[in-house]
Amino acid sequence: MTTAQLARRLGVSQPRVVAIEKAEKEKSVTLDTLERAAHALDCRLVYALVPRIPLDDLVAERARAQVNARLANTRHSMLLEAQSVAEADEKEQVKRLVQQWIEKSGSELWEDEV
């Protein structure tokens, strides 16, 4: 489809369509403009944010980071006092805490500072 043909469908001038294409290339086009263009092309605009990794994995990673951040001071103090916990026991406890954190944390999960 030419820019002139699309302009007629949108009810705008051909230079306006060129400006829309330029805005899209520069990542400055608005959703409203994209929606009007989609309608003119007999399409439906779909706006979606798609996680780079499965959402369950993202949540688990985030919870693990939160748990480890909270445990860092305790680990340090216990090492200073020669009271470290067996690695297998600590891993199991972290696993349980991560699951609890996932189940109960809500929006706290996404805080950058713990």
pLDDT of amino acid 76: 66
Radius of gyration of the chain from Cα atoms? 26
The DSSP string of 39-80 is: HHTT---------SS-HHHHHHHHHHHHHHHHHHHHHHHHHH
pLDDT tens per residue across span 45-102? 999 998 899 999 999 998 998 888 888 777 767 666 667 667 787 788 889 989 988 8
**Any residues with CB less than 8 A from the CB of 44 and at least 6 apart, and which?**
38
Domain residue limits, the chain: 3-40, 55-110
Decide if pLDDT at 111 tops 70: yes
What confidence tens digit (pLDDT) does each residue in 34-48 have? 999 999 999 999 999
